[in-house]
Amino acid sequence: MIMNYEGILEFKGTWRRYQARVLEHADRYMADGKIHIVAAPGSGKTTLGIELIRRMNGKALILAPSITIREQWIARIEEAFLCEGIQGEDYLSQNLKQPKAITVATYQALHSAMTRFQGIQEDAGEDSGTGTDECPAKTETKEVDYSGFDLVGTMKEAGIEVLCLDECHHLRSEWWKALEEFKKQVNNLKIIALTATPPYDSTPAMWTRYMNMCGEIDEEITIPELVKEGSLCPHQDYVYFNYPTKEEEKEVRRFEERSKAMTEKIMRDTQFLTYVRSHKGFSGQLSDDLLLDNPAYLASLLIYLQSKNIAIPSRLQRLLGAKKLPDMNVQWMERLLQGFLYDDVDSYLCDKTYRELLIADLKSDGLIEKKKVVMTKSAAVEKMLTNSLGKCNSIRDIVFHEYEASGQDLRLLVLTDYIRKEYEKAIGNTEYDVNSLGVLPFFEMLRRDNEKKNEQIRFGVLCGTIVIIPAEAREALEQAIGMSGKVTFSRIGNLSETDYLKVTAVGNAHFLTGAVTDIFSKGYMQVLIGTKSLLGEGWDSPCINSLILASFVGSFMLSNQMRGRAIRVMKEHPEKTSNIWHLVCLRPWNEVLKADDNQISEDYSMLERRMEHFLGLHYTENTIENGMKRLSVIKTPFNKTNIDRINRQMLKMSGQRDTLKERWNSALAVYDKMDIVDETEVKDKFVTSVVFWDAILTMILSGILCLIGAIGAGIVAAASQNGILAGTCYFFIAAGLAGIMIRFPKIFMLGSPLKRLKAFGNGIRKALEEQQLLEETHCKVETESNGPDNHIIYLSGGSGRDKALFAQCVNEFFDVIDNQRYILVKKKGHKGLNGFYAIPNCFSKKKEDAERFAKCMHPYIGNYDCVYTRNEKGRELLLEGRVKALANREERCISHKKVKGALE
């Protein structure tokens, strides 16, 4: 059933260059019946999706991850596409039971309809489900009855031809099943797949499932491209660190003391010793395979016995591959107790009552959370640090510094999780302490400081249940509201009505958000404080030039949406740049901790995860990349002196907005077309020279053959005319020369670690291609030096998945030998650092795949055997490799994304 949208839908705007590029190639992309677009927030992918539906002239079903996004689709169609005189309700539906030309529904609704669900259906406003008691995610709860509803039949009868999937990789497992079953039953659907974050880091099985649904990625529109096109403004991420308050630090210390005291108590417990000694591994009742499945747990058993001066079975210590065991501490006790109480219960001859009493003892000290022993890192403590009151001081420092740098041009947004309505009485009343995380405490804290400093900053609050504006903005707000609604003004807290006003809507308050945003844009406020629920209303304010992410609950997708609000361009201010501030609380400094230690804090780990997803400008180099490496000011040690230095440096850099735009332009100007690559940095000493020395040895042997042949030929020529003997000598000469000619180019090609690394990469790429794991075969391996001892390798060209998979294989190939299923082992000679390499996981499922990988690598790395480590001989070699690795457990590879010039 053909649907003609002429006269119904027509785009009212102007296409951006990259949007026009996608549309120009759309017919070619749809050759396989699927078009798959990856587009960063702010790129207008919703608009692209609507235009693709319009051009396909087919009735469409659009599926969105939340009701918020569902409503945004409808709003975008009505605002940007509906022709004059056309009523949206005639062609648009949000009800699966009443499909129209374009029906928009949530994945949850599809699942309910496919399973014929009857009862209360909840559709979350945010796909992450990150609501709070005070600031809930927008949720639609309604009673549904699909018990007698035939969704497939209804859609077929309605003539649905196009299925548009928005962010479908965020789906729950049961939603996936419903979607796959629906697609299977409704034949010949054209698929439009749109996402900001494809699951490159998912399992191969999940990736295959995703690709089967969405098809190959046809176009990828990245943030750097959007900045270059002028669709997003130049921006930078800054990090402001804090330590816990004194009370919070005491809580951390109390937790550490409880852990230490519990460790000491258990170490004195003779009954516990008896039970540990009963472990089946000590009496040979468990296979080495089982013991090697968790080497850290096996180590904890041996360390415990050693600390009790009990003789350790030498066989188990050899199996572990450790000549010397460390001393018992809280970390090793945590591992031991996890096995003893939960993971390895059947291996002990232990009285059930004793185990239950020990669990109760640990729980009473807060050392067990959800059947997990937590003696080094408690979720409760980490949550306290994430919500540290020390962040109040961070917000104060950032706000006043940003105002000092930008003055009345500042448009700073503070987004947080809570309103804290109980603090309304504290506003203007200094008897109340306002040291708390929330909209109203932040407002009052900043207002008080502003008054003390005699600054001219004006603040505002914008939430669903409370709005505060400066008194002088009253008339401007009334003008912005116009005839769209009515409001009343009243006193807020103990403040004078000539200072700030509380604004209350009469009836539905939907109009108020836009009006407050308008006066914020016009400069009646320099700082606006609100909750992340603003995002749930599809709120946008292009004037924002500074953002403080004071939201500590949420997924990457949510933080990406928040960040996206600050990097919009503003037509009235083409020179706009934006600062995005991330707040991080660190654990009290411990000299034992290292930069890559997960004990730094969960807050810091969250920052690392966020930075993995953001491509941005390096702090000092004019390069665009992801990861923590680009935030080069952040360096250990994380003690108070250094953290103060880092914070001062962050504030200084944030004030250099004029150079920020120049540096973005410099970083992007050199590329006519961009290629986002996954770089992997490899250290010199881990790049084997086996194939190089094999070539040298062959050259020497070939030279000897030549020499023998030449000497023999000379003797034969002088002594007699024996043709057979002379022929043999000439054969030696020919064979020797052939060996030299064959090996000489290889010596030249592999003479440096950089050249050898490229050869390794070519071997890995060849293996991926032979295994048919590459989506595009025109890609090639590139290498660069990054200092005298470090080299970089990446795949240029190819799909994003190809690049990510290649980088993953390189990382796994050079990984520390630990407990891999298949490894490559040097055939002969001394096995140093280059004696063992791991076979990447995607080749380790079957013996045939592992051997094929080894065969592909042979010409590039030399003589290595493919060894299966789950038998006796293999275990011996695995242990040898593990022992070699013990002294070299440094981080061998570091991967990050970087913008490069694309292959022609």
In a domain, 563, yes or no: yes
Residue partners of 172: CB distance under 8 A and separation at least 6 = none
Higher pLDDT, 595 or 440: 440
Higher pLDDT residue, 888 or 210?
Answer: 210
Report residue 235 as tokens: 């921006």
Q: Is the pLDDT of residue 778 over 90?
A: no
pLDDT digits (tens, 9 = 90+) for 406-435: 999 999 999 998 999 999 999 999 999 999
**Alpha-carbon distances of 433 from 201, 319, 417, rounded to whole Å:** 45, 59, 20
Alpha-carbon distance 844 to 823, whole Å? Answer: 9
**Cα 238 → chain centroid:** 18
- Give mean pLDDT, residues 578-597: 73
Q: Report the pLDDT averaged over residues 137-162.
A: 86
Is residue 513 located within the same domain as residue 567? no
Q: Which long-range contacts (CB under 8 A, 24 or more apart) does 87-91 make?
A: 91/8
Is the pLDDT at 692 greater than 80? The verdict is: no
Over residues 313-333, the mean pLDDT reads: 83
**Residue 493 corresponds to which amino acid?**
G
Instruction: Give the pLDDT confidence of 819-873 residue by residue, as tens digits.
Output: 899 999 988 765 665 688 899 999 998 999 999 999 999 888 878 899 999 887 8
Give the model's pLDDT for residue 600. 83
The residues, ordered by sequence, that sit 6+ positions from 39 with a Cβ below 8 Å of its Cβ are: 45, 48, 194, 195, 196, 219, 220, 221
The helix (run of H) or strand (run of E) holding residue 523 is: none
How far is Cα 757 from Cα 738, in angstroms, rounded to an integer?
Answer: 26
Return the pLDDT at 69.
83
pLDDT band at 320 (very low <50, low <70, confident <90, very high): confident
At 491 the pLDDT is 96
pLDDT at residue 859 in the model: 84
> Taking the CB of residue 818, how many other CB atoms lie within 10 A of it?
15
Q: Is it the case that residue 619 has pLDDT exceeding 50?
A: yes
Predicted confidence band at 681 (pLDDT cuts at 50, 70, 90)? Answer: confident
- Predicted TM-score of the model (pTM): 0.78
Q: Given pLDDT bands bounded at 50, 70 and 90, which one contains residue 647?
A: very high
Interacting residues of 689 by C-beta distance below 8 A, sequence separation 6+: 750, 753, 756, 834
Instruction: State residue 246's pLDDT score.
Output: 92
Same structural domain, 646 and 726: no
Minimum mean pLDDT among 281-285, 389-393, 457-461: which range?
A: 281-285
- Answer for the pair 152, 186: CB distance below 8 angstroms, yes or no: yes
Q: CA 476 to CA 515: how far, in whole Å?
A: 9
**Residue 229 in domain:** no
Is it the case that residue 142 has pLDDT exceeding 70?
yes
Confidence of residue 693 (pLDDT cuts 50, 70, 90): very low
Alpha-carbon span 385 to 500, nearest angstrom: 33
Within-domain flag for 4: no
* Residue 436 domain flag: yes
> In the predicted model, what is the mean pLDDT of residues 729-753?
53
Same domain, 562 and 582: yes
Confirm whether 857 is domain-assigned. Answer: yes
Q: 644 CB contacts (<8 Å, ≥6 apart)?
A: none
For 79-108, what is the mean pLDDT?
Answer: 95
Based on the domain organization, do 47 and 119 belong to the same domain? yes
CA distance 312 to 154: 70
Give the domain-ending residue among 669, 698, 730.
669
Q: What is the mean pLDDT of residues 699-712?
A: 54
Which residue range forms the structural domain that includes residue 212?
A: 17-221
Q: Is residue 293 part of a domain?
A: yes
The answer on 724 and 792 residing in a single domain is: no
Q: Is the pLDDT assigned to residue 333 strictly greater than 90? A: yes
pLDDT at residue 168, rounded to an integer: 83
pLDDT of residue 165: 96
pLDDT score, position 878:
85
What pLDDT score does 48 carry?
96
Mean pLDDT of 267-296: 89
Residues 465 and 520 in one domain: yes
The answer to whether residue 517 scores a pLDDT higher than 50 is: yes
Question: Same domain for 357 and 408?
Answer: no
How many C-beta atoms lie closer than 10 Å to residue 264's C-beta?
Answer: 12
Same domain, 604 and 695: no
605 has a pLDDT exceeding 90: no
Q: What is the 3-state secondary structure (H, E, C) of 436-453?
A: CCCHHHHHHHHHHHHHHH
pLDDT at 656: 94
Residue 170 has pLDDT above 80, yes or no: no
Domain termination site, one of 749, 775, 792? 749
How much is the pLDDT for 733?
A: 58
Q: Distance between CA 8 and CA 280 in Å, rounded?
A: 75
> What CA–CA distance (Å, rounded) separates 27 from 29?
5
Sheet with 190-195, side-by-side order of all strands = 92-93, 102-106, 59-64, 160-166, 190-195, 34-39, 219-221
Residue 239 lies in a domain: no
The whole-number average pLDDT for the span 373-398 is 92
Domain final residue pick, 483, 506, 531: 531
> Residue 209 pLDDT > 90, yes or no?
no
Instruction: Please tell me whether residues 524 and 599 are part of one structural domain.
Output: no
Measured between alpha carbons, how far is 423 from 408 in angstroms, rounded to an integer?
28
Q: Please indicate, yes or no, whether residues 62 and 204 belong to a single structural domain of this protein.
A: yes
**Residue 680 three-state SS:** strand
Asked if residue 338 and residue 192 are part of one domain, the reply reads no
What tokens appear for 683 in the block?
Answer: 């250290």
Whether 682 maps to a domain, the answer reads no
Gap between the Cα atoms of 779 and 777, Å rounded: 5
Regarding whether 132 and 179 lie in a shared domain, the answer is yes
Closest CA to 438 of 502, 527, 529, 535: 529
The total of structural domains in the chain comes to 6
How many angstroms separate the Cα of 291 from the Cα of each of 281, 342, 869, 879? Answer: 7, 16, 13, 13
SS3 (DSSP) at 505:
strand
Q: Considering only 157-166, 219-228, 769-778, 891-900, which range has the smallest mean pLDDT? A: 891-900
Q: What are phi and psi of 528, to 5 degrees?
A: -115, 130
Distance CA 321, CA 883 (A): 5
Q: What is the pLDDT of residue 887?
A: 47
User: What average pLDDT does the structure give for the chain?
Assistant: 85
